[in-house]
Amino acid sequence: MLGKLIKNDLKFGAHSVSLVYLSALIASAVMGISLLADLERVKYFSSIAFIICAFAIVIVTIITIIQSVSRTMYGNQGYLTHTLPVKTGALVFSKWFSAFFWVFLSLLFLYASIVFMYFYISGESAFQMIKSILLSDELSMLINEKVLRDVAIIEAVRLVIMVGVISMYVIFGITLSNVRPFSALGNIGTVIYSFITIVGGHYLGKGAAKLADLNIGVTPDSLKLIATEAAKDAILYENGAIRPLTATFTEIVFAIILYFAVILLIERKINLK
């Protein structure tokens, strides 16, 4: 059943964001034409339109996904969602996964657009750029090529995790705004509660890092779990890099707690209007 829920929720999401992606496709087509025609003015305007489109995709995706979750969980469509013979946990997980997927896709599109625009405007090939970064004497003295690659992978994983974590924060915010007495604020409540949860999660992570500062030490030879200042110094001495771990881990735990809180609220407190 979970697979069917996810399939249908992705379909709902696709329907909500399809218009945004269609506009991006049109902007891309205009860019492609300008590239072929080699028209500077068209190239300039289509580049601006493309970047605006990429940012708009992220913002509009977030807004439409919030609306979609609200409608299908707590609006009229909730009458169907909550009478399906599936566990509440599966319902919440499916909504979370769909939100995560679409927001992540929009961010991926944004990053890809920025990188693409850089090469499009500068005329430099991606291969040349990466090669010059990696082979730069100055940089290679500071950070090893392998360390740089591992840090990039760690940061990419952290980004994926944080998109997932924030998606759950927002689902909690939407849910809370449908529970009395919090529902008094209406749709604005969704924004306020989501914002408070995101900020709260961030500071919870920071607070936890002060109590137990766990990090990943990246060296040319290995990845290490480090917890002391001496260990950090040793990593830096080896031309390695340090990435924080506690805050991310704490936010994952916080998001999991909120997942169960959402289930509890749906099963105990939510009354569909």
Q: Which is nearer to other proteins, 12 or 104 (CB)?
A: 12
Beta strand pairing call for 215-218 and 223-226: antiparallel
User: Quick one: which of 78, 173, 205, 240 contacts other proteins (CB under 8 A)?
Assistant: 78
Residues whose CB is less than 8 angstroms from the CB of residue 165 and which lie 6 or more positions away in sequence, other chains included: 201, 251, 252, 254, 255
Kindly indicate which of the ranges 81-89, 105-113, 194-202, 210-218 contains the residues binding other proteins, using the contact rule CB under 8 A. 81-89
Q: Is 1 in the site for other proteins (CB under 8 A)?
A: yes
**Min dist. Cβ of residue 170 to other proteins (A):** 20
**Min dist. Cβ of residue 265 to other proteins (A):** 10
Burial class of residue 271 (count of CB atoms within 10 Å of its CB; 0-12, 13-18, 19+): exposed
**Min dist. Cβ of residue 102 to other proteins (A):** 16
Q: For residue 164, what are the CA distances in angstroms to 4, 14, 33, 117?
A: 20, 18, 37, 27
**Min dist. Cβ of residue 8 to other proteins (A):** 6
Q: Is 82 in the site for other proteins (CB under 8 A)?
A: yes
Q: Is 30 in the site for other proteins (CB under 8 A)?
A: no
Q: Is 65 in the site for other proteins (CB under 8 A)?
A: no
Residue with tokens 């399939």: 7
Q: Which is nearer to other proteins, 83 or 122 (CB)?
A: 83
Residue whose C-alpha is closest to residue 34's, from 47, 51, 21, 22 = 47
Q: Is 182 in the site for other proteins (CB under 8 A)?
A: no
Q: Is 8 in the site for other proteins (CB under 8 A)?
A: yes
Exposure of 92 in the CB half-sphere (CA atoms within 13 A)? 24
Q: Cα(99)–Cα(112) distance, rounded to whole angstroms? A: 20
Q: Is 140 in the site for other proteins (CB under 8 A)?
A: no
Residues that bind other proteins (CB under 8 A): 1, 4, 7-8, 12, 15, 71-72, 76-80, 82-87, 180, 267-272
